[in-house]
Amino acid sequence: MQLGEFRLVPTMQMGDLRITNVPMAFADLHIFDLWSLNDRPAALIGVDVLHLFARVELDFGAGRVLFRLGDGGLAPRIWSA
């Protein structure tokens, strides 16, 4: 268990994608030390947000995450959690 501060983040921008009303907990987590992420912005995104996407791809070789917004049709660039 880890103590943190809970907030509703009005807007979270990731590249061209903007997600609104994201519930988020802020904490100084030990895992960020292990992953060497304490010197830059980092977030753990839960299934409650990931379920908004049709598909999520992790490309460890390129160091990126791809969020697929739909079945090939027009999908909004703004999502509300």
- The answer to whether residues 47 and 53 touch, using CB atoms and an 8 Å cutoff, is no
Q: What is the rounded CA–CA span in Å between residue 30 and residue 4? A: 12
- The domain segmentation of the chain, as residue ranges, is 5-74
Beta bridge partners of 57: 66
Average pLDDT over residues 18-22: 84
Confidence at residue 57, expressed as pLDDT on a 0 to 100 scale: 87
pLDDT at 15 over 50: yes
Nearest partner of 43 among 1, 79, 7, judged by Cα: 7
Q: How many Cα atoms occupy the beta-carbon half-sphere of 36 within 13 Å?
A: 0
Over range 44-67, report the average pLDDT. 83
pLDDT of residue 5: 92
